[in-house]
Amino acid sequence: MHPIREDEDEIFARLEARLESLTGIVSRLKDKNAELATRLKQAEEDRAALEAALKESQQEATQLREESAALRSRQKQAASRIKNLLSQVEQMDLLGEN
């Protein structure tokens, strides 16, 4: 064979090997990309579920705060009524002693 032809054959063989290697790399990258896309989709779904749960928890917390405030108000009203009743009872006792 001619020396130049041998160099060309060697160059083509190296190029083919590199192309095969590159094809394998691209294939692995595609697989990795598909895996990452799946993981991203799952993470987005998880995030949406967590955001929904957070919103529900916030609404529940707001409701509980409102209920707590209403109970405190009723407690204050009851305490005020009891004081008024006690005051009236004391006045009745005083009137009865005269």
Domain-located, residue 14: yes
Give the type of residue at 71.
L
Domain-located, residue 43: yes
Q: Phi first, then psi: what are they for 2, rounded to 5°?
A: -85, 140
CA distance 75 to 67: 12
Domain-located, residue 88: no
pLDDT beyond 80 at 88:
yes
CA distance 80 to 72: 12
**Residue 40, C-beta contacts closer than 8 angstroms, at least 6 positions apart:** none
pLDDT beyond 60 at 1:
no
Q: What is the pLDDT, as a whole number, of residue 90?
A: 87
pLDDT tens column, 3-49: 667 788 889 999 999 999 999 999 999 999 999 999 999 999 999 99
Our count of domains for the chain comes to: 1
Whether pTM exceeds 0.75: no
pLDDT beyond 80 at 84:
yes
Q: Which domain holds residue 62?
A: 1-71
Helix (H, G, I), strand (E, B) or coil at 13: helix
Q: What is the pLDDT, as a whole number, of residue 2?
A: 57
Domain-located, residue 45: yes
Q: What is the pLDDT, as a whole number, of residue 97?
A: 63
CA distance 68 to 57: 16
User: Residue 69 corresponds to which tokens in the numbers above?
Assistant: 């405030």
